[in-house]
Structure 1
């Protein structure tokens, strides 16, 4: 592959990164690709409730992963906070080498790996590394998941600007959970304005799903012209390689 995978980030927490990552898994399943999934760090889970925390568990389920749990989720913390804060809360530090080892194992097994970050790009992992730094460290272009509501233009433009300042390419933007609002007639124009200001393609404006299961969201993403253009380009490049 011309790229080793994608790093799915968001303009904020709770914008739907896991939903979009799972949707990408569904699309790759349909294509018959062998791919890896990672949630390098998940917070808000103590390791005792179920086999997996919510985000990593969803990716494992849709991808069908059956290997070593540490290769998907190398590090987790009980405190629901940014990794640096969650680690400090328990007197620990984030072992970046552990993250790198899990990444390298994934890369040896798969040509393509989907990595879901935590929060947004500036979320700190250590004193010297944030989520943007992790994406750059692993050579992964970004998919930015953005809200559909008021404020999304500012949040998304700032996220793309931060990525560029860190030297990380942004492959595309997904505007998630769009709901028409009679009180905000400009809402349908947000995606076009984001694309104009960032010069990054908006892959899709995903509608609101009452139950955002991976197949339904994946089909909506796969049907979007913006995403199809990107995927077609990726497939063409991979055949050349």
Structure 2
């Protein structure tokens, strides 16, 4: 576990309850809407793995969909080709990740913007360095946590466990956004999962994002976020950090 001195970054750390839950799209959409609301806010993904070209990587989607002007290399300073957990993907390219270097890599964006949405890789228990998990990096930054979970069957268990683990690691869980429900899906759990997560996980569900068919544009994404996420509540939580 990390022993670096805890910092105090303004914004939210965004993590998934699993890999592939759509946290990059949700992070970018939320950033775009918050920027429209007047927040001086950027996006940062300290490490990403997978994708041979820039266009295949999360940093590109974050840049295009959020509307920031920063280069992909600044948004995600550590990028590795192998689709592996960060510590292993880095090792394959002869890189040893450290908590302090990852935080330092984000300082240009932290100084540029009043707040950041920092997107992790995978879930909170993803190995990040030789001794630390993703949750430890979130705790180092001192940011409240937004959890992105699946909409369908199994998400109650994954989300409650993730929230409990986050609290164990000293993180404040600001809320959950469930992502990817389909109106024509036979999975009836999508109708009750949010209420169950709130009841048994003692954590607010701040949004229920639908699956977006076809090409995801910034305009379509912002429309979905405004319609299905409690942007006001998230804005209020962010505004309190400025105080």
Cα distance in structure 2, aligned partners of 1:188 and 1:225 = 16
Which position in structure 1 is the counterpart of 2:14?
A: 8
Q: TM-score, normalised by structure 1?
A: 0.87
Please list every run of at least 4 consecutive aligned residues from structure 1 whose deviation after the TM superposition is greater than 6 angstroms: none
Residues 1-241 of structure 1: pairs in structure 2 closer than 5 A: 4-46=10-52, 49-50=53-54, 53-67=56-70, 69-180=72-183, 183-211=186-214, 212-224=216-228, 226-235=230-239, 237=240, 241=243
- Equivalent position SS for 1:144: strand
The answer to whether the 8 Å contact 1:180/1:187 transfers is: no
Alpha-carbon contact 1:7-1:114 (below 8 Å) kept: yes
Gaps of at least 5 residues in structure 1 are none
Distance 2:234 2:68 in 1: 26
Name the CA shift for 1:229/1:66 in 2 (closer, same or farther; >3 Å): closer
- Per the normalisation by structure 2, the TM-score is 0.87
Kept in 1: contact 2:145–2:175 (CA 8 A): yes
Name the SS for the 1:167 alignment partner. coil
Kindly provide the CA deviation profile for residues 175-197 of structure 1, in whole angstroms up to 9, marking residues without a partner as x: 11112467443430011000111
Shift of 1:214: 3.6
Q: CA 1:44/1:16 → structure 2, altered by over 3 Å: closer, same or farther?
A: same
Q: Distance in 1 between matches of 2:237 and 2:165?
A: 25
Count of aligned positions: 235
> RMSD between aligned alpha carbons?
2.3
Going from structure 1 to structure 2, the CA distance change for 1:110 and 1:153 (only over 3 Å counts) comes to same
Cα distance, 1:15–1:226 mapped onto 2, change above 3 Å: same
Superimposed CA distance per residue, residues 60-119 of structure 1 (whole angstroms, 9 cap, x where no aligned partner): 223444445543111111111001111223343114333121222222221100111111
Range moving further from structure 2, 100-109 or 207-216: 207-216
Contact 1:5 1:140 in 2 (8 A): yes
In the superposition, relative to structure 1, how do residues 72 and 188 fare at CA in structure 2: closer, same or farther (>3 Å)? same
Q: Is the 1:206–1:217 contact (alpha carbons within 8 Å) kept by the matching residues of 2?
A: no
